[in-house]
Structure 1
Amino acid sequence: MGVMALAQIIERLRSQGTDDATYEAKSCTVGLSKDVWETVSAFANTRGGTLLLGVNEADGFTPVPDFPIDRVCDQFVSGIGDGGSRSVLENPPEYQIEREILDGRPVLVIYVDELPAAQKPCFIRARGIQGGGYKRVDDKDIRLSPNELYAIQSVTAVDASDRAPVDGASVDDLDEAVCEVLFSRALMLSPRSMRGADSIDERLKRLNLTNSQGDVVRAGLLVAGKYPQQFFPKLAVDIAAHIGTSKGGSGSLRFRDRVVCEGTIGEMIEDAVHAVAKNLKRRSTVSSLGRSDELEIPELVLREAVTNALVHRSYNPRFDGEAVSVDIFDDRVELTNPGGLWGKSWGDLADGRSCCRNATLMKLLSLVPLPSGAGAPAEGNGTGILLMMAEMEKRGLRPPEFYPAIDHFKVILWRPSERASAGSRVDFASDVSGIEQSLGEHSELSINELAKQNGLSLSQARRRVRELIAQGRIEATAAPTSRNRKYRLCR
């Protein structure tokens, strides 16, 4: 990390008066604090983070006098399982230890990596998986709930929830016209899928709108149903336009606008984009083709974000009571869908791989066009996030921000404003340039090394690395699940 980078981090912690999502200070005055393992578990299950041992938060983040650095270091290495003894943790994460000097005294800095999705959860063995796993929320280590444990353990398991039969539904609840379009498109785009399927019942089964017993399945109802919300009232898109930059900040007037979009997924996508668009401003742009007006957030980006939320949300019955929510604030639009990130870790979001929780739903949505005829809503080729980033950058807007939690996924699209800072864009560009410079000097570096060399948190470094990968300026040296994954300049 270096003395300068550590000093900057400590200065920030002092100014905010508390730890945060990526840094945790522990005094460890006589030895390793027992609650260190809760923080290690939380960092490993969330986005990684950094322990600052020998630093007293209560005393204004000052170094501890006579800090027993050797003892604490040995206890940590032994406790995590690298000293020949069994680890305190199940599924311990990768880590790096550095000895640093703060205000003339020694401190121990430990970088904790996020675990790959397939290896989560990390939990304290003695407490078991139900009581020993934690997540990081701001400056707190919070015990994982049963729903969160389920989401973590299901993140790489095949999820067949979209193929579950719908209780009480029959073929009569499917829209005949939509089904005919599906059959026609399947014959044109994937003719083998209709081979030998001469009757309507056989075609419904072949495309997985119904199962082998003829029961309508969730994916079929959501793509071709007459009114899916008859069976699942909350499988909708709930849109609220707020006054100001937070919920409930406007007194008795709760919303500027409120719309609940229902129907098939295609209908919800188009209705949701329209409902958001009418609450956004339009701005003029001038190009070689002349002047044109467009939404302050490109419609293509809105459509992609809404589509992703509906296609990749969890359709497991655990989440049937939750809608996709879209919150429009004065400075941003937030889209949140139930169900955490599936098949990937946070740092791999922009790697271009297509990982789909709902494979049957995705296939159907690649065949049926949107109600307006504006193409199929799902391509399934892993380009959605990259497209959103490119379209926002093309217009000089802040890049989209992605916040996968254990049981939900949030996307933030920033609206342009005077406050939306030239300064922040300059800082971001400067950080990106610094990462490229580091890779030019060292050939290959890990995400931890890039963060340390540039004085960034792990989350900041990962965001900038994803941006550079999306632009084709750097590349990863190994698969996302590899512990040897590093980054280098594209050749």
Structure 2
Amino acid sequence: MTITPNDIYNLIHQGESTSVEIKKCSDSLPRSVWETYSAFANTRGGVILLGITEHKDRPLESRFEITGVSDPDKIETDFFNMLNNRQKVSRNILFDSDFRPVEIEGKTVIYISVPEADYHKKPIYINDNIVDGSYKRSHEGDRRLDKEGLAMMLRDSTDDIDSQILEHYGLEDIDEETLRGYRQVFDTANPGHAYTNLDNKEFLYRMGGYDYDRHREIEGLTIAGLMMFGKGTPIEKRFPLFRMDYLDLIGVKPGGDLKWNDRLTYDGRWENNLYNFVTMTMRKLLFTLPSEGRIVGEARRDGGPLYDGIREAIINSVTYSDFQTEGVLRIDRRDNEIILRNPGLLRISADRIYNGDFTHARNRNIQKMFRMIGYGDNIGSGFQKILAAWNTLGYLRPDLKELEDVKEVWLSLPLASSSKKDEGTSNNDSTVNSTAITIEKGGQEQVNRNQEQVKERVKEQVKEQVNLSDKQKEILLYLLDHPSASLKSCSDATGASAMSIRYTFKKVKSWLDIRHEGPDKTGIWSFEVISTPKSK
């Protein structure tokens, strides 16, 4: 990519920020350039501009003066010599093309692009001192990492955090009832599995919950084993900064007497390990949401994209939690959204995650344990599954962010439609008979009065369906009013994808048969009520 003078002007006019550092430089490198290099590499990357003088007493529009670098070749040589000196910089993560001289106003400005380092390589530090030489970018300044921040970054540089053996923690710290319940679900999900007949110790070993270190001659529960199946007291003593909380806040007003409708927290009534927290929270949370009933064999199985997306979100929060930093794994069920919080920061930027990039989970053994009973996966596609589910449902896009000050990641799952329209709700309980509505195309709609009445009653039934999102109702109402519309025109009018439209048809097929007759562009939609829908 070519860097132009206009690019430099734009950066100067924006001023210094979390991703831009501007430094005066004439014939020698400023010493502080290495602190900025470390800070950008350990945060989200950034650009260093050399050859620009800052006048702090001036307003932003005239604060920075292009004074130029007097000997660009010398600066480049000195820069890369220092960058490749392990006594000065722990690691070189730049390419030659990341250092670019730019001619502007008859002077030379140096543009240095510093990428974010791969989390396996962090921290990038200077002066051969990982404690005092590790920096992070905060606003427009470089800040030395504190003890906790450095420890978090070092933990994040490995992908097997939860495989660490906890000395002096053994099978006596496992809650037998929790492990027995998990194994029953495991056997049901994996009939005939080779692990079925193993004793508990060997089962935990195979699942990553127990391990041996022959070099150190120790054995015991791993972090995964204790956190997943342990008794509450040993977990609290080993990880005193970590806790779990679920709150049902539906209808709860800030400042009111009612603080919550339901809560799952450390109260001595359950063994507060991860398996119990996840399964109990899912039961409580999913009970507050509409379910799509599916018949599997002869049994009804509740689910659909909403349930699947929420399960994926909960497992993501658990498997990316940093148990060794102060924080809470908390799930709030609010009126129009679900908020999930977990301790720890994102290992890559939120933008990269939205674009499909991913990292390995912090707690891969815990991830494996949940995956083996049908919760989540381990191929890094979890967040994309959540986005796809919310897109299918027509909900607003989930919001993922990290809060640096409290060292937590928050994921907000809106339960509101992305439509700007607000559909009314009918209280009409009239029953719709099994009647076909076929509307023919031909300049104007040819329908008799009876068909029009039935169509209106179908619309009322659609509005009353609690298991349909606002977006799904909007799709059906649009097609009832525009039977000659194509999928594309329906998508353009409602903002729903073709996948969302087809999924909507699937959700109502138990009581409403929807067919498209004729060519894609010139055909018509027909609707036949085949049973009385249930509005609850």
Q: Residues 15-26 of structure 1 correspond to what in structure 2 (within 5 A)?
A: 19-26=16-23
Whole-Å separation in 1 of the counterparts to 2:363 and 2:188: 20
Task: Tell me the residue number matched to 2:142.
Answer: 141
* 3-state SS in 1 of match to 2:111: strand
Q: 1:39: Cα distance to partner?
A: 1.2
Whole-Å separation in 1 of the counterparts to 2:84 and 2:359: 40
Q: Is residue 2:278 matched to residue 1:269?
A: yes
Asked if 2 retains the 8 angstrom alpha-carbon contact of 1:352 and 1:386, the reply is: no
| Structure 1 residues 298 and 61: alpha-carbon distance in aligned structure 2, compared to 1, 3 A threshold | farther
Task: Tell me the residue number matched to 2:184.
Answer: 181
Task: Tell me the residue number matched to 2:90.
Answer: 90
Asked if 1 retains the 8 angstrom alpha-carbon contact of 2:338 and 2:414, the reply is: yes
Whole-Å separation in 2 of the counterparts to 1:48 and 1:101: 24
Whole-Å separation in 2 of the counterparts to 1:28 and 1:331: 53
Q: Is residue 2:125 matched to residue 1:123?
A: yes
Q: Residues 25-424 of structure 1 correspond to what in structure 2 (within 5 A)?
A: 25-28=22-25, 32-53=29-50, 54-56=52-54, 58=56, 59=58, 60=60, 62=62, 65=65, 67-71=67-71, 74-75=74-75, 77-81=77-81, 88-94=88-94, 95-99=98-102, 101=104, 107-125=109-127, 128-154=129-155, 155-156=157-158, 158-161=160-163, 163-164=165-166, 167=169, 170=172, 173-175=175-177, 177-181=180-184, 184-185=187-188, 188=191, 190-191=193-194, 193-194=195-196, 197=198, 199=199, 202-210=202-210, 217-225=222-230, 227=232, 231=237, 235-238=242-245, 259-261=263-265, 263-272=272-281, 298=306, 300-315=308-323, 318-319=324-325, 321-326=326-331, 335-340=340-345, 349=353, 355-368=360-373, 376-394=374-392, 395=394, 397-398=396-397, 400-403=399-402, 408=407, 410-413=409-412, 415=414
Asked if 2 retains the 8 angstrom alpha-carbon contact of 1:52 and 1:108, the reply is: yes
Whole-Å separation in 2 of the counterparts to 1:258 and 1:308: 23
TM-score (normalizing by structure 2) = 0.56
Q: 1:80: Cα distance to partner?
A: 3.8
Whole-Å separation in 2 of the counterparts to 1:276 and 1:27: 56
Structure 2 stretches lacking a partner, 5+ long: 213-217, 267-271, 291-304, 422-536
Deviations 1:354-401 (A, max 9, x none): 723333322322234xxxxxxx32322221021123234442633543
Whole-Å separation in 1 of the counterparts to 2:328 and 2:144: 25
Task: Tell me the residue number matched to 1:466.
Answer: none
* 3-state SS in 2 of match to 1:90: coil
Q: 1:91: Cα distance to partner?
A: 0.9
Whole-Å separation in 1 of the counterparts to 2:73 and 2:360: 39
Whole-Å separation in 2 of the counterparts to 1:174 and 1:328: 30
Whole-Å separation in 1 of the counterparts to 2:416 and 2:181: 42
Question: What letter corresponds to residue 277 of structure 2 in structure 1?
Answer: M
| Structure 1 residues 33 and 205: alpha-carbon distance in aligned structure 2, compared to 1, 3 A threshold | closer
Q: 1:415: Cα distance to partner?
A: 4.1
* 3-state SS in 2 of match to 1:24: strand
Whole-Å separation in 2 of the counterparts to 1:300 and 1:392: 10
Asked if 1 retains the 8 angstrom alpha-carbon contact of 2:343 and 2:409, the reply is: no
Q: 1:69: Cα distance to partner?
A: 1.9
Q: Which has the larger radius of gyration?
A: 2
Q: 1:181: Cα distance to partner?
A: 0.7
Asked if 1 retains the 8 angstrom alpha-carbon contact of 2:42 and 2:123, the reply is: yes
Q: 1:42: Cα distance to partner?
A: 0.4
Q: 1:112: Cα distance to partner?
A: 1.1
Asked if 2 retains the 8 angstrom alpha-carbon contact of 1:242 and 1:328, the reply is: yes
Whole-Å separation in 2 of the counterparts to 1:72 and 1:331: 57
Question: What letter corresponds to residue 410 of structure 1 in structure 2?
Answer: V
Asked if 2 retains the 8 angstrom alpha-carbon contact of 1:340 and 1:409, the reply is: yes
Task: Tell me the residue number matched to 1:425.
Answer: none
* 3-state SS in 1 of match to 2:34: helix
Whole-Å separation in 2 of the counterparts to 1:92 and 1:204: 41
* 3-state SS in 2 of match to 1:355: coil
Q: 1:36: Cα distance to partner?
A: 2.1
Asked if 1 retains the 8 angstrom alpha-carbon contact of 2:39 and 2:136, the reply is: yes
Asked if 2 retains the 8 angstrom alpha-carbon contact of 1:78 and 1:87, the reply is: no
Question: What letter corresponds to residue 117 of structure 2 in structure 1?
Answer: L
Asked if 1 retains the 8 angstrom alpha-carbon contact of 2:246 and 2:264, the reply is: yes
| Structure 1 residues 334 and 23: alpha-carbon distance in aligned structure 2, compared to 1, 3 A threshold | farther
Q: 1:237: Cα distance to partner?
A: 2.6
| Structure 1 residues 187 and 409: alpha-carbon distance in aligned structure 2, compared to 1, 3 A threshold | same
Question: What letter corresponds to residue 387 of structure 1 in structure 2?
Answer: K
* 3-state SS in 2 of match to 1:89: coil
Q: Residues 394-473 of structure 1 correspond to what in structure 2 (within 5 A)?
A: 394=392, 395=394, 397-398=396-397, 400-403=399-402, 408=407, 410-413=409-412, 415=414
Question: What letter corresponds to residue 360 of structure 1 in structure 2?
Answer: N
Whole-Å separation in 2 of the counterparts to 1:326 and 1:341: 18
Identity %: 21
Q: 1:136: Cα distance to partner?
A: 1.1
Asked if 1 retains the 8 angstrom alpha-carbon contact of 2:35 and 2:142, the reply is: yes
Whole-Å separation in 1 of the counterparts to 2:55 and 2:192: 62
Task: Tell me the residue number matched to 1:429.
Answer: none
Asked if 2 retains the 8 angstrom alpha-carbon contact of 1:239 and 1:327, the reply is: yes
| Structure 1 residues 88 and 201: alpha-carbon distance in aligned structure 2, compared to 1, 3 A threshold | closer
Question: What letter corresponds to residue 43 of structure 2 in structure 1?
Answer: T
Whole-Å separation in 2 of the counterparts to 1:27 and 1:332: 48
CA RMSD of aligned residues (A): 5.0
* 3-state SS in 1 of match to 2:136: strand
* 3-state SS in 1 of match to 2:130: helix
